[in-house]
Chain A
Amino acid sequence: MLENILAILILVGAFFTLVGSIGLIKLPDFYMRLHGPTKATTMGVGSILIASAIYFSQKESGVSAHEVLITLFLFITAPISAHLMAKAALHIQTHQSEQTQKK
Protein backbone atom coordinates (compact mmCIF):
# COMPACT_ATOMS: atom_id res chain seq x y z
CA MET A 1 0.00 0.00 0.00
CA LEU A 2 2.65 2.47 1.10
CA GLU A 3 4.89 1.44 -1.76
CA ASN A 4 2.09 2.18 -4.21
CA ILE A 5 1.66 5.68 -2.82
CA LEU A 6 5.42 6.26 -3.03
CA ALA A 7 5.54 4.96 -6.58
CA ILE A 8 2.69 7.24 -7.62
CA LEU A 9 4.32 10.27 -5.99
CA ILE A 10 7.65 9.58 -7.70
CA LEU A 11 5.97 9.01 -11.06
CA VAL A 12 3.99 12.23 -10.74
CA GLY A 13 7.17 14.08 -9.83
CA ALA A 14 9.08 12.58 -12.75
CA PHE A 15 6.22 13.42 -15.10
CA PHE A 16 6.11 17.08 -14.16
CA THR A 17 9.90 17.39 -14.30
CA LEU A 18 9.74 15.89 -17.79
CA VAL A 19 7.00 18.32 -18.81
CA GLY A 20 9.15 21.19 -17.55
CA SER A 21 12.08 20.00 -19.65
CA ILE A 22 9.90 19.50 -22.72
CA GLY A 23 8.66 23.04 -22.27
CA LEU A 24 12.26 24.20 -22.21
CA ILE A 25 12.82 22.80 -25.73
CA LYS A 26 9.45 23.35 -27.24
CA LEU A 27 8.26 26.82 -26.32
CA PRO A 28 9.04 29.52 -28.86
CA ASP A 29 10.57 32.43 -26.94
CA PHE A 30 12.73 33.13 -23.90
CA TYR A 31 9.98 34.36 -21.59
CA MET A 32 7.82 31.33 -22.26
CA ARG A 33 10.74 28.95 -21.77
CA LEU A 34 11.23 30.56 -18.38
CA HIS A 35 7.98 28.92 -17.28
CA GLY A 36 9.41 25.43 -17.77
CA PRO A 37 11.99 25.32 -14.96
CA THR A 38 9.69 27.01 -12.43
CA LYS A 39 7.21 24.20 -13.02
CA ALA A 40 9.75 21.45 -12.57
CA THR A 41 10.78 22.81 -9.19
CA THR A 42 7.35 23.29 -7.70
CA MET A 43 5.35 20.20 -8.55
CA GLY A 44 8.04 17.79 -9.76
CA VAL A 45 10.58 18.26 -7.00
CA GLY A 46 7.77 18.77 -4.49
CA SER A 47 6.23 15.36 -4.91
CA ILE A 48 9.58 13.56 -5.14
CA LEU A 49 10.58 15.18 -1.85
CA ILE A 50 7.30 14.18 -0.19
CA ALA A 51 7.96 10.62 -1.33
CA SER A 52 11.49 10.79 0.09
CA ALA A 53 10.24 12.14 3.42
CA ILE A 54 7.67 9.36 3.75
CA TYR A 55 10.15 6.65 2.76
CA PHE A 56 12.90 7.67 5.16
CA SER A 57 10.44 8.31 8.00
CA GLN A 58 9.28 4.73 7.55
CA LYS A 59 12.67 3.15 7.12
CA GLU A 60 14.57 4.81 9.93
CA SER A 61 11.73 4.93 12.45
CA GLY A 62 12.02 8.64 13.03
CA VAL A 63 10.59 11.62 11.27
CA SER A 64 12.78 12.71 8.38
CA ALA A 65 12.26 16.43 7.86
CA HIS A 66 15.32 17.38 5.81
CA GLU A 67 13.09 17.47 2.80
CA VAL A 68 11.09 20.37 4.17
CA LEU A 69 14.28 22.42 4.12
CA ILE A 70 15.10 21.46 0.53
CA THR A 71 11.61 22.55 -0.47
CA LEU A 72 11.97 25.79 1.46
CA PHE A 73 15.32 26.69 -0.13
CA LEU A 74 14.12 25.74 -3.61
CA PHE A 75 10.96 27.77 -3.23
CA ILE A 76 12.99 30.77 -2.17
CA THR A 77 15.74 30.53 -4.78
CA ALA A 78 13.84 29.38 -7.89
CA PRO A 79 11.62 32.46 -8.26
CA ILE A 80 14.56 34.77 -7.59
CA SER A 81 16.68 33.31 -10.37
CA ALA A 82 13.67 33.33 -12.70
CA HIS A 83 13.04 36.95 -11.78
CA LEU A 84 16.66 37.96 -12.41
CA MET A 85 16.74 36.24 -15.80
CA ALA A 86 13.45 37.85 -16.81
CA LYS A 87 14.70 41.23 -15.71
CA ALA A 88 17.94 40.83 -17.68
CA ALA A 89 15.96 39.68 -20.72
CA LEU A 90 13.71 42.73 -20.50
CA HIS A 91 16.76 44.95 -20.19
CA ILE A 92 18.47 43.70 -23.35
CA GLN A 93 15.09 43.37 -25.09
CA THR A 94 15.25 39.73 -26.00
CA HIS A 95 13.22 38.60 -28.95
CA GLN A 96 9.58 37.93 -28.08
CA SER A 97 7.37 35.58 -30.04
CA GLU A 98 4.87 37.27 -32.36
CA GLN A 99 1.94 35.98 -30.35
CA THR A 100 2.97 38.03 -27.33
CA GLN A 101 0.35 40.57 -26.40
CA LYS A 102 2.29 43.78 -26.01
CA LYS A 103 1.78 45.98 -23.06
Chain B
Amino acid sequence: MKSSEPRKFIQLLPHPVLTMVLWIIWLLLNNTLAPGHIVLGFILAVIIPLLTTSFWPEKIILSNPWVIFKFFWVVIWDILIANMVVAKLILGPSRRLKPGFVLIDLEIQHPLGISILANTISLTPGTVSCDVSPDRKQLKVHALHLENEMDTIHEIKQRYETPLIKVFQSC
Protein backbone atom coordinates (compact mmCIF):
# COMPACT_ATOMS: atom_id res chain seq x y z
CA MET B 1 0.00 0.00 0.00
CA LYS B 2 2.86 2.36 0.76
CA SER B 3 4.71 1.77 -2.48
CA SER B 4 4.65 4.50 -5.08
CA GLU B 5 2.51 2.62 -7.58
CA PRO B 6 -0.84 2.71 -5.73
CA ARG B 7 -0.25 6.32 -4.74
CA LYS B 8 0.18 7.37 -8.35
CA PHE B 9 -2.96 5.44 -9.12
CA ILE B 10 -4.87 7.30 -6.40
CA GLN B 11 -3.65 10.65 -7.72
CA LEU B 12 -4.78 9.78 -11.19
CA LEU B 13 -8.19 8.67 -9.92
CA PRO B 14 -9.11 10.92 -7.00
CA HIS B 15 -12.71 9.72 -7.05
CA PRO B 16 -12.98 6.18 -8.39
CA VAL B 17 -16.74 6.05 -7.83
CA LEU B 18 -17.30 9.27 -9.77
CA THR B 19 -15.14 7.89 -12.56
CA MET B 20 -17.21 4.73 -12.77
CA VAL B 21 -20.48 6.68 -12.74
CA LEU B 22 -19.29 9.07 -15.47
CA TRP B 23 -18.09 6.19 -17.60
CA ILE B 24 -21.42 4.39 -17.33
CA ILE B 25 -23.36 7.62 -18.00
CA TRP B 26 -21.29 8.29 -21.13
CA LEU B 27 -22.02 4.82 -22.49
CA LEU B 28 -25.71 5.17 -21.65
CA LEU B 29 -25.92 8.60 -23.28
CA ASN B 30 -24.52 7.16 -26.49
CA ASN B 31 -26.55 4.00 -26.04
CA THR B 32 -23.69 1.88 -27.31
CA LEU B 33 -20.95 -0.50 -26.29
CA ALA B 34 -18.67 0.21 -29.25
CA PRO B 35 -14.96 -0.08 -28.34
CA GLY B 36 -14.30 3.50 -29.43
CA HIS B 37 -16.87 4.88 -27.05
CA ILE B 38 -15.62 2.70 -24.21
CA VAL B 39 -12.14 4.20 -24.61
CA LEU B 40 -13.38 7.78 -25.13
CA GLY B 41 -15.72 7.45 -22.16
CA PHE B 42 -12.90 6.17 -19.99
CA ILE B 43 -10.63 9.07 -20.96
CA LEU B 44 -13.37 11.58 -20.12
CA ALA B 45 -14.17 9.75 -16.90
CA VAL B 46 -10.54 10.11 -15.81
CA ILE B 47 -10.11 13.73 -16.91
CA ILE B 48 -13.35 15.24 -15.59
CA PRO B 49 -12.83 14.21 -11.92
CA LEU B 50 -9.24 15.53 -12.15
CA LEU B 51 -10.50 18.93 -13.36
CA THR B 52 -13.27 19.13 -10.79
CA THR B 53 -11.40 17.90 -7.72
CA SER B 54 -12.08 21.15 -5.87
CA PHE B 55 -15.84 20.53 -6.03
CA TRP B 56 -15.45 17.26 -4.14
CA PRO B 57 -13.74 18.12 -0.89
CA GLU B 58 -14.51 14.90 0.95
CA LYS B 59 -13.59 11.48 -0.29
CA ILE B 60 -16.41 9.18 -1.21
CA ILE B 61 -15.80 5.53 -0.57
CA LEU B 62 -18.59 3.11 -1.09
CA SER B 63 -18.07 0.40 1.43
CA ASN B 64 -20.68 -2.31 1.77
CA PRO B 65 -21.86 -2.65 -1.84
CA TRP B 66 -24.31 -5.30 -0.65
CA VAL B 67 -25.99 -2.80 1.68
CA ILE B 68 -26.31 -0.31 -1.19
CA PHE B 69 -27.83 -3.00 -3.39
CA LYS B 70 -30.36 -3.95 -0.72
CA PHE B 71 -31.13 -0.30 0.02
CA PHE B 72 -31.83 0.30 -3.69
CA TRP B 73 -34.40 -2.50 -3.86
CA VAL B 74 -36.01 -1.50 -0.55
CA VAL B 75 -36.50 2.02 -1.95
CA ILE B 76 -37.93 0.73 -5.26
CA TRP B 77 -40.33 -1.56 -3.39
CA ASP B 78 -41.40 1.24 -1.04
CA ILE B 79 -42.02 3.55 -4.01
CA LEU B 80 -44.31 0.92 -5.55
CA ILE B 81 -46.29 0.31 -2.37
CA ALA B 82 -46.47 3.94 -1.28
CA ASN B 83 -47.68 5.02 -4.73
CA MET B 84 -50.78 2.86 -4.37
CA VAL B 85 -51.43 4.19 -0.87
CA VAL B 86 -51.01 7.81 -1.93
CA ALA B 87 -53.14 7.37 -5.06
CA LYS B 88 -55.91 6.14 -2.76
CA LEU B 89 -55.40 9.09 -0.40
CA ILE B 90 -55.51 11.62 -3.25
CA LEU B 91 -58.60 10.14 -4.88
CA GLY B 92 -60.39 9.79 -1.54
CA PRO B 93 -62.05 12.70 0.24
CA SER B 94 -59.35 15.22 1.11
CA ARG B 95 -61.16 16.33 4.26
CA ARG B 96 -60.13 13.11 5.94
CA LEU B 97 -56.43 13.66 5.34
CA LYS B 98 -54.29 14.54 8.32
CA PRO B 99 -51.16 16.24 6.97
CA GLY B 100 -48.42 17.24 9.33
CA PHE B 101 -44.79 18.08 9.88
CA VAL B 102 -42.39 15.63 11.47
CA LEU B 103 -38.97 16.42 12.84
CA ILE B 104 -36.43 13.67 12.41
CA ASP B 105 -33.27 13.71 14.48
CA LEU B 106 -30.43 12.79 12.18
CA GLU B 107 -27.76 10.38 13.29
CA ILE B 108 -26.06 10.34 9.94
CA GLN B 109 -23.39 13.02 9.58
CA HIS B 110 -21.93 12.70 6.12
CA PRO B 111 -23.31 15.53 3.92
CA LEU B 112 -23.82 13.27 0.91
CA GLY B 113 -25.57 10.77 3.17
CA ILE B 114 -27.96 13.46 4.39
CA SER B 115 -28.77 14.57 0.85
CA ILE B 116 -29.39 10.99 -0.27
CA LEU B 117 -31.63 10.45 2.76
CA ALA B 118 -33.58 13.65 1.99
CA ASN B 119 -33.87 12.64 -1.67
CA THR B 120 -35.15 9.20 -0.72
CA ILE B 121 -37.73 10.68 1.63
CA SER B 122 -39.00 12.97 -1.13
CA LEU B 123 -39.07 10.15 -3.69
CA THR B 124 -41.09 7.79 -1.56
CA PRO B 125 -44.59 9.20 -1.96
CA GLY B 126 -46.39 10.54 1.06
CA THR B 127 -43.42 12.39 2.46
CA VAL B 128 -41.45 15.40 1.22
CA SER B 129 -38.37 16.61 3.02
CA CYS B 130 -38.68 20.35 3.53
CA ASP B 131 -35.75 21.67 5.49
CA VAL B 132 -32.51 20.71 7.18
CA SER B 133 -31.61 22.57 10.34
CA PRO B 134 -28.45 24.68 9.94
CA ASP B 135 -26.42 22.38 12.19
CA ARG B 136 -27.47 19.35 10.12
CA LYS B 137 -29.01 17.63 13.10
CA GLN B 138 -32.68 17.70 12.18
CA LEU B 139 -34.69 17.11 9.06
CA LYS B 140 -38.15 18.59 8.68
CA VAL B 141 -40.48 16.32 6.73
CA HIS B 142 -44.01 17.00 5.55
CA ALA B 143 -46.28 13.98 5.44
CA LEU B 144 -49.48 13.90 3.41
CA HIS B 145 -51.26 11.69 5.90
CA LEU B 146 -49.88 11.28 9.38
CA GLU B 147 -51.43 8.41 11.29
CA ASN B 148 -48.87 8.05 13.99
CA GLU B 149 -45.92 10.37 14.23
CA MET B 150 -43.63 7.96 16.07
CA ASP B 151 -44.27 5.18 13.57
CA THR B 152 -43.37 7.40 10.63
CA ILE B 153 -40.14 8.56 12.26
CA HIS B 154 -39.21 5.03 13.25
CA GLU B 155 -39.87 3.69 9.77
CA ILE B 156 -37.77 6.34 8.05
CA LYS B 157 -34.93 5.87 10.52
CA GLN B 158 -34.93 2.13 10.25
CA ARG B 159 -35.54 1.64 6.56
CA TYR B 160 -33.44 4.45 5.11
CA GLU B 161 -31.11 5.96 7.66
CA THR B 162 -29.60 2.80 9.10
CA PRO B 163 -28.31 1.43 5.77
CA LEU B 164 -27.03 4.86 4.74
CA ILE B 165 -25.07 5.17 7.99
CA LYS B 166 -23.48 1.81 7.24
CA VAL B 167 -22.54 2.94 3.73
CA PHE B 168 -21.02 6.27 4.75
CA GLN B 169 -19.46 5.47 8.10
CA SER B 170 -16.00 4.96 6.66
CA CYS B 171 -15.79 8.36 4.98
Contacts and interface: CB of A to CB of B under 8 A. Distances in A.
A103 B123 CA distance: 22
A90 B149 CA distance: 20
B52 interface: no
Interface in B83-97: 83, 86-87, 90-91, 94-95, 97
Given A38-B125, A43-B83, A76 B91 contact: no
A97 interface: yes
B124 to A, nearest CB: 8
A32 B125 contact: no
Interface of B: 25, 28-29, 31, 79-80, 83, 86-87, 90-91, 94-95, 97-103, 118-119, 121-123, 125-126, 128-131, 140, 142, 144, 146, 149
A15 to B, nearest CB: 8
Interface in A27-57: 27-29, 31-32, 34-36, 38-39, 42-43, 46
A65 interface: yes
Q: Which 10 pairs, one residue from A and one from B, show the smallest C-beta to C-beta distance?
A: A101-B100, A79-B122, A86-B130, A43-B83, A23-B90, A103-B101, A79-B119, A19-B87, A31-B142, A69-B28
B118 A83 contact: yes
A interface SS class:
helix
Given A22-B90, A39-B87, A79 B101 contact: no
Contacts of A80: 119
Given A39-B87, A65-B31, A82 B101 contact: no
A79 to B, nearest CB: 3
Contacts of B118: 79, 83
B31 to A, nearest CB: 5
Contacts, number: 117
A65 to B, nearest CB: 5
A59 interface: no
Interface string A9-21: 0000001100110
Nearest to B103: A103
A15 B136 CA distance: 38
Interface string A48-89: 000000000000000011101100100110111011001101
Contacts of A82: 122, 128
A78 B94 contact: no
Given A38-B128, A43-B83, A100-B99, A64 B90 contact: no
